[in-house]
Structure formats: structure tokens, C-alpha cells
Structure 1
Amino acid sequence: MKKFTQYVFCITILLSCKKIGTPELQPINLKISTVYASTELGKKLSLSKVLIKILNVNTNVEKQLITDANGNVSFQGISAGVYDISATITIPAATYSSVTGEIVDKDVIFNASDKNKTIGLTNNELNIKLVSGNIGNWLIKQIYYAGSNTTTGAGYRDQFIEIYNNTDSVMYADSLYFAEIIGRQSYTNTSYYTLPNGQMDWSKSLNMPSNIDANNNYVYPRALFMLPGKGKEHPVLPGASIVIAQTAINHKSPFTGTDGKTITVRDPSLTIDLSGADFEAYYAPFLPRPLTSDIDNPSIPNLNVLAYNGTDMLFDNPGRTAFIIFKRDGTEVKDYPKYNYPTISTPSSTSDKFYQIPNSVIIDAVEIQPNTASDRVPKKLGASLDAGYTFAPNGQYSSQSVIRKTDRTENGRKILKDTNNSTEDFDYFSLANPRGFK
């Protein structure tokens, strides 16, 4: 009798739990409305046929719809959860020029995004603003941040970034800047003032002016570099690249470190040859204890290091970062202001400060995120710079790089895809491939 009673009790509890939990399992309808961030453009440009994509970050299921004439869509019967939401519309150059009176020679792309958004029964209506970004002449083509196996490969030593001339004219890489952007690296660190999306609220930084939009109009690099040259020393042909290596050597082969010891890899197939890089980072002259692997290739020009993090040009290999390239706007970068982290506690006089780079000078930007959804961090770049993100599918130390897709070929010159949305623009190489194409 006692066992029977226990059985009935358990069944009752299970049925009760199922009944109580049922509303949470109900499918919901998600309504999304789009508008142009610019009120003036909103009066002139159509909101019809904006492509809206929603990605359930837990199940990796993606759905997409096209907006109606009013810029609205409704996703019917989706499950509650956490979603990445993006919107994009391409306005042909002729149409844009006709309706706005502004003459452009390229199609204008507008994007919007809302990442890591919790959608539920009481949070199922969103309004998102479409913004246009710069379609660059220089593009970040490939980023090898993951590195290779720490036991059988080269670890982090073989990292590089590749920048591409996406035009039909010779351009000069002299005094081109690139930077790795700082930001909150997890949702659990509570020492900073934060925004609703979880990212740092730079407006709360010590001595930040109150009359600027510190979060939306600027970015803050943890590492900042400038390519050498005074104007026309480093020409880059149309459809050609520059490769910037952490250390410009053949990482497949043994080499002698600065301590006189031989450094080698067990499996050369996991790493790459960077002896043909165009530039390299060399930190030894200004570090008290440089890495023994940071050797100088005398035939490769060194970067000018303006700000750095760590003991070499070490990219965050879990992928919790973003990269930008830019040119000066007549202002010396050293004259840009620097600010502390927006920490809740007052920073000390010796705390690190970071350059404040205006979005207006940025030519291209790429957001990197970890390969698994549970490890992803608050976005560092707004939709005008990068509406999405990219990642190496196998994560850190996988030998994989992220590579920009080829959009088309004209007279033998590859034109790379550039929609200001890295989710759409990038693929990956199973083994990083300097100057390769996808």
C-alpha cells in the first residue's frame, strides 16, 4: 500500500509539473519592426524587403523573412530562447542617388543587429534601427587568431592578420593603422558599469566628456599598431594583400630563440610559413623580459607599436575581440584622448588608459566571437561597423583562420564581399592560408 501511494504521489507531481511548465513551452510570435536610424533617410528610402534573420543561439536554428512595405515582419510559432537578430537591406547606387540627391558610385548597405536577445512570452516585440556603414577600399581579409596546437603546433606564435586592397587602383599601406578592440570579456565580471547589452559603458569612464556618445561613436583598442612609411613606400596592387605577422618566420621549421635554444614543432602540418610576410611585430626593444620566441626578421619591416597588451602581438585566441583598420583624419593618433576602464571603483592614477578612436575614421571592422554560444561575450562593435560576427568553428589552437569570401571576379581581380556584416561576409580555412582566397 505504501509503494502504491508513493507511485500515485510521484505521478501527481509529474503531471503537476508538466501542467505548470506548459506555458513556458508554448510557441510564441516574434514581431520585429525596422526603421532607419536617420529620420531624413527614413522619409525617402523604402523599408520593403529588408531581410531579417533570427538565430537561436542554443539550437543553432535560423529563420529568415522579408519585411512588408512598412518594414515589419512576424515570426510565427518560434520557441522562447536567446536569439541573434540581424537585418539588412541593399539600396542600389542609382536608387539611392535618385531618392536622396547624394551621388554614390556603390550600392549602399544598411544593417541592424541585436545579439544575445532573450525572447519570451513577455518580450516578443522588437524595434531595430538600420544604419549604413563604410564600404571599405582596404578590407580586413583574413584573421588567424586561433593559433595552432600548443603541444604539436606553434601555439600562439604563428598568428597573423591580412589586409586587402579591394579597389581597382594601387593604394599605399604607409601609415595605415590597425587595432584590437578592448571590451568586457564575459557576462560574469561585475566590476564595470555596463550597458543593457552587457558591454562596458564607456560614458562612465573617469573624466569622460558628457557631450559625446562615448559608446556608439568611438571604440577603444587594447593594442594599436601603425604600418611604417611616409606616403608611397609600400604600394599594394589591386587585388593584393599585406600580411602582418606576429613573428615573420617559417613556423614549420626549427629556429633559434633569443636565449640560444632551438624552438621546433612536432607536427609542421599544423602551422604555417610566415617568412614572406610584409610586416611583423617586434616587442623585444621595449620589454624588460621579451619572449624568447620573439625574434626579429631583419628583412621584414617592423610595425610601429603605439599600444600593446602582453609580451607580443598576441591576439585573443578564444576569439573575444574585434579588429579595425583606419587612417588618420589629420589628427595624430597620439593626440586622441585616453580613458580608463569604466570601473565602478575609482581607478588609480597608474591604471591603464585606452585611446578613444572615432568611428568616423574607421575603414573596416570585424567582430570575432568564441566558437561556442555559451562562451560568447557582449558585442564590441555597433551595427554601423559590423552587424554580425565570425569565428573559427573549432576554436582556439585549431589552426583555423577566418577568411573573407570572394564576391565576384572582374578581369582576373577578386572583389571580396563587404556588407558590414561578418556573419555574411566571412568563411574559414581549416588551416590558415596567407594570401589565400575562399
Structure 2
Amino acid sequence: MKIRYFIPIVCLSIFSCQRDRIPKMEPVDLNLNLSYASEELNGQLELNTAKVTVTNLSTKVSSSYSPQDAAVSIENLKPGNYDIDASITISKEQYTQVTGLEAAEDVTFNVSFKKYNLIRSTTLGLELVAGTVGDFVIKQVYYAGSDQKNGALYRDQFFEIHNNTDRILYADSLYFGRIYGRQSITTDKEYYQPNGQLDWSKSENMTMGNEANTDYVYLRDLFMIPGDGHTYPIDPGKSIVIAQNALNHKVPFVGNNGVETPIRDPELTVDLSKATFETYFGDIPGKKPFASDINNLDVPNVEVLDYVGNDWILDNPGRDGYVIFKRSNREEVLALKDYAIPSLKAPAASEKTYRQLPTSWIMDALEIQPNTAGARLPKKLGPSQDAGFSFVPLGAYSSQAVIRKTEVNNNGVIKLKDTNNSTEDFVFIKANPFGFAN
């Protein structure tokens, strides 16, 4: 009997010792010091009305704080991954008074640290950057697609751009596309920046330093709306919808291969037959388009400058960044340099290259991320383009789209929220071309 009881006692003692050796996760403190990235603004513009938000990515609990003397001190946080965001909106009158620069709208400054690994007490400097407020803004992106069997898969994707002013704008020579960046957190075949994103300064034939990462983005694809400068007027508060395929996806269609494709549940998808524009790859020399890439002769085609694949298929898990910009000189855009991915080994001669776009050209930008925190990637866009990110909660094939919030409805002319932080500016809806968020 003594032997029978002695063994469990020894085991319990061993387990107890092992538990004692496991390091305890002690609470940590986080100190945040706010300032403006532009030195001349410090001491001239207030900081204590900024909104600071800290989100625990494990528990999804967010807490908001107001700075005192441009600082926030948070005690007893559980170690882990956090999103840290700060923003402040300065009235256009105050901004003009301090800077001498005319501002048509109030100016919002942002800064963010995404997926910051907080493992010990830390002090961070948060430098707030002013974003560009564009005349056109990205309104709605339907990237998720609809059910693989009962819906339209990814054939019904679309991209919507909004005139966010009180005057007529022309869509002619408006460019849009996706930027390229790290698509997986598991690969280690490229050079990376400290934030985990690709280090384009290490690209072959690159002649600049870190400015290659801070002052430019790299285009995965690029499209241009045609016109002579006054061909496509867009009224104030109105939008244009660019369809991957300008079809009524609620009804069966006969593809360009002669085969009919049925739709089992029309409620899962959308009618894009009245889209403003469509992307059509059937005119690209040597390119065999997908059967669903049917040229709707009633809908103008955008001009394809750079492309991947056989159609404009948006990444439906949500790993794309989107930009829009406007240039009247097409040759200026075509003259932009292009670079291969900064791979650890020299790129092959056939390696795809990516057009280098100055961030100063960007009118509006939107970062999309996967719907689960563990799948999210280092940010592709800086705080002056998009300090946050958006996503649809149900993920791929969910029929959900991200859409910009409505800020003002002035007698039917709708102005959308634009703070250059898509976490704040966007919500999700069931995809609805030309629709608005409730």
C-alpha cells in the first residue's frame, strides 16, 4: 500500500515543480506619446482632443482614451497582440489659420500600429499624419463574391467610386487598381521591412533607399477610365460602378464557350448589367478570357494597362489594397518605372514587375484584410493613405461588401465619411451596387 501511494505523490511533486517553472504572464503598462509628424504643427495644433483606441486582438475588446498633455498611460494590460490607433480632426478654419494652407474640408490626422506584439511595458511615440481628402473616394468594394454553388462565385465582384463633392466631376482619366504586397505571413523568400512588409529598396535595379517603401506603392494591376476629359460627368453625390463582368448575375447566362451557367439562388448575387463600366480581358492579345468574361456592348470597357490572370478577380479572402488617382497626361503614367519583388534570389527574366506609383498621386486608398485576426498581414498602405483597414465579417463567398459610411445627406446629395482610416469610415452590407450604408 505504501508503494502504491508513493508513486502518485512523487508525480504530483514533479507536476508542481513544472508548474512553478512556467513563466507567469504579468500585466504590462503601455505609454503613448502623441505628436504631429510635421514638426511645425507641434505646439500649434491641439492633441488632447485626439481619440486613442487600443484593441486586444484575442478578446476583441476595444478601449478608448483621451490624452492628457499629449500622452496616454494604460496600466495592467494583458500581454498579447494589439491594434493601436489614434486620430484627431482639425477644423479647416484652424488648419488654415495655423498653416496658411487653404483646406476645403476639415483635416483628419491618423496614426496606427497594427497587430503590435505587446509583451513588456512599453513606451510608443505616435506621430499623426494628415491624409489626403480626395474629390473621388472609394465607396464600395465587393470582393468576397457569392456562394460557390448557389451564387455566382467571384464573377459578380465590383468596385464603386463616389463623387464626394458638391460639383460635377469627370471620370475621364481616372485610374484605379490594386497594390501588391506580402500575401502570406509564412513565406520567407523576400526581403522585409521591420514592419514585416516587403522591402522594395532591395528590389533589383532600385536606386533609392527607404523612400522606395515610404514614398511609393507598387501596382499589382492598373486600369484607366477612357474619355476626352468631358465624356463621363458624375453628378455630386453620385457613383460609378466598375463590374468585373457587367451581367445580370441573378439569371442564367451563356458563356463565351457556348455553355449555359445556372444560378440556383438569385438572392445571393447582384445585377451588374447596368454597371457604369466593366473590365474586359477578351481584347488583350494572346489572352484567353474566362467563359464568364462576356463583353456587354451596352457598358463601356475600361482600359487595361497592367493585369494578372484571365479576368479582374479580386482576392476574396481579403488581402488587397486599392488605390485611385487621376492624371490628365497618360504618358506620365506609362512612364512610371516598374520593379520585381525584392526576392532573396535574383528574379528570372520572365518575373512579373510592378509599376511604382508615387503616394503623392493617390486620391484615395483602401486596405482590405482577412476577416480573422490570425490571417491578417502587415499593412500595405501607410497612415497618410489608410491608417486602418476594413473587412467583411463572414469572409469569402459571403455576398458581403465593405462600404463607406454616409456622413451627410443634403437634399439627396450624399457626402461620405472620409478620415483616411477605413476602420472608422467603412461598414459592411450585403453587396448593393449604387446603394448606400444604412
Pairwise same-fold verdict (TM > 0.5): yes
SS at match of 1:110: strand
- The match for 1:312 is 311
Unmatched tracts of structure 1, length 5 or more: none
- The match for 1:31 is 31
In structure 2, the CA distance between the partners of 1:264 and 1:17, relative to structure 1 (3 Å rule), is same
Within 2, Cα distance between the matches of 1:407 and 1:374? Answer: 32
Kept in 1: contact 2:223–2:302 (CA 8 A)? yes
% identical equivalent positions:
47
Counterparts of residues 251-270 of structure 1 (less than 5 Å): 251-270=249-268
- The match for 1:59 is 59
In structure 2, the CA distance between the partners of 1:352 and 1:23, relative to structure 1 (3 Å rule), is same
Q: Is the counterpart of residue 284 in structure 1 residue 282 in structure 2?
A: yes
SS at match of 1:284: coil
SS at match of 2:249: coil
Q: Is the counterpart of residue 426 in structure 1 residue 419 in structure 2?
A: no
Within 2, Cα distance between the matches of 1:10 and 1:62? Answer: 43
Superimposed CA distance per residue, residues 179-233 of structure 1 (whole angstroms, 9 cap, x where no aligned partner): 1111001111101100111110001111112266011111111111001111000
1:93 maps to a residue whose letter is K
Kept in 2: contact 1:50–1:67 (CA 8 A)? yes
1:229 maps to a residue whose letter is G
Report the CA distance between 1:10 and its aligned residue. Answer: 3.9
CA RMSD of aligned residues (A): 1.5
Q: 1:161 aligns with which of 159, 164, 182?
A: 159
Superimposed CA distance per residue, residues 383-412 of structure 1 (whole angstroms, 9 cap, x where no aligned partner): 110000000100001110001111122232
Q: Is the counterpart of residue 399 in structure 1 residue 399 in structure 2?
A: yes
- The match for 1:355 is 355
Unmatched tracts of structure 2, length 5 or more: none
Within 2, Cα distance between the matches of 1:209 and 1:35? Answer: 32
1:308 maps to a residue whose letter is Y
Which stretch shifts more, 285-294 or 78-87?
285-294
Q: Is the counterpart of residue 298 in structure 1 residue 265 in structure 2?
A: no
Kept in 2: contact 1:186–1:378 (CA 8 A)? no
Kept in 1: contact 2:143–2:318 (CA 8 A)? yes
Within 2, Cα distance between the matches of 1:12 and 1:89? Answer: 56
Which stretch shifts more, 124-133 or 142-151?
124-133
Within 2, Cα distance between the matches of 1:60 and 1:193? Answer: 31
SS at match of 2:316: coil
Counterparts of residues 379-398 of structure 1 (less than 5 Å): 379-398=379-398
SS at match of 1:23: coil
Report the CA distance between 1:130 and its aligned residue. Answer: 0.8
1:38 maps to a residue whose letter is S
Q: 1:232 aligns with which of 230, 233, 251?
A: 230
Q: Is the counterpart of residue 110 in structure 1 residue 100 in structure 2?
A: no
Report the CA distance between 1:289 and its aligned residue. Answer: 2.4
Within 2, Cα distance between the matches of 1:173 and 1:333? Answer: 16
Q: 1:275 aligns with which of 273, 276, 284?
A: 273
Q: 1:141 aligns with which of 139, 142, 150?
A: 139
Q: Is the counterpart of residue 214 in structure 1 residue 203 in structure 2?
A: no
Report the CA distance between 1:102 and its aligned residue. Answer: 2.3
Kept in 1: contact 2:287–2:310 (CA 8 A)? no
Kept in 2: contact 1:44–1:100 (CA 8 A)? no
Superimposed CA distance per residue, residues 232-252 of structure 1 (whole angstroms, 9 cap, x where no aligned partner): 000100110000000001001
In structure 2, the CA distance between the partners of 1:105 and 1:19, relative to structure 1 (3 Å rule), is same
2:13 maps to a residue whose letter is T
- The match for 1:199 is 197
Within 1, Cα distance between the matches of 2:117 and 2:10? Answer: 35
Kept in 1: contact 2:281–2:287 (CA 8 A)? no
Within 2, Cα distance between the matches of 1:293 and 1:116? Answer: 38
What is the TM-score of this pair, normalised by structure 2? Answer: 0.96
Superimposed CA distance per residue, residues 327-349 of structure 1 (whole angstroms, 9 cap, x where no aligned partner): 12746211000011011101122
Within 2, Cα distance between the matches of 1:269 and 1:326? Answer: 34
In structure 2, the CA distance between the partners of 1:10 and 1:100, relative to structure 1 (3 Å rule), is farther
Kept in 2: contact 1:136–1:364 (CA 8 A)? yes
What is the TM-score of this pair, normalised by structure 1? Answer: 0.96
1:29 maps to a residue whose letter is D
Within 2, Cα distance between the matches of 1:125 and 1:236? Answer: 47
SS at match of 1:203: helix
In structure 2, the CA distance between the partners of 1:253 and 1:44, relative to structure 1 (3 Å rule), is same
SS at match of 1:285: coil
The count of aligned residue pairs is: 434
Within 1, Cα distance between the matches of 2:11 and 2:95? Answer: 66
Kept in 2: contact 1:329–1:361 (CA 8 A)? no
